[in-house]
Each structure stands twice: as C-alpha cells, then as structure tokens.
C-alpha cells in the first residue's frame, strides 16, 4: 500500500491537563511512498511553548525528512 498525502495542521492557544501551554503550532508537510519505506518531509513552527518544571521557549522551529528508512531532524529553539 502506498500513498501521496499533503497535510497542514494548525492549533494552539490553550493549556493541556499535563501543564503544557502553547501559543500557536503549525505543522505542514508531505508523505509519499509506502509504509515500509516512506518518503516524508515536514516543518513545525511553535510559539510561546511552556512545559512543566519552568521550561519555556519563545519559539521552536523544526524540519524533519525521512527517506528509505533514514531520518533527519533539524531544530532551532529560541529562549
């Protein structure tokens, strides 16, 4: 089974029961190929992220790519 799927997800502005709070989050990307050897790429942008234990980030930006079983993740955090 294989697929070609583009996605865009936007959310935020809330606090979870676990104490995670975020301003906004946007995830967009593409998945193509089959489940055993996918090709995918995605980009995540998060603003005002607060985690339990006083961890806070002004912004988080991350790119992920997967190709034939190999994956790369590059992220940048602004305090």
Residue extents of the structural domains in the chain: 19-25+40-79
Please give the Cα distance from 45 to 14 (Å, whole number): 16
- Percentage with pLDDT > 70 across the chain: 100
Per-residue pLDDT band at 53 (split at 50, 70, 90):
confident
Q: What pTM, to 2 d.p., does this model score?
A: 0.81
Could you give the strand order of the β-sheet that contains 38-51, starting from the edge strand earlier in sequence? Answer: 2-15, 21-34, 38-51, 55-67, 70-78
Would you say residue 24 has pLDDT above 90?
Answer: yes
Please give the Cα distance from 57 to 23 (Å, whole number): 10
By DSSP bridging, strand 55-67 and strand 21-34 are: unpaired
pLDDT at 3: 84
């Amino acid at each position: 089974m294989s697929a070609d799927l583009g996605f865009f997800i936007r959310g935020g502005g809330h606090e979870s029961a676990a104490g995670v709070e975020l301003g906004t989050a946007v995830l967009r990307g593409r998945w193509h190929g089959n489940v055993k050897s996918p090709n995918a790429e995605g980009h995540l942008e998060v603003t005002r992220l607060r985690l339990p234990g006083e961890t806070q980030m002004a912004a988080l930006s991350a790119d992920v790519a997967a190709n034939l079983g190999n994956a790369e993740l590059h992220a940048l955090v602004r305090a």
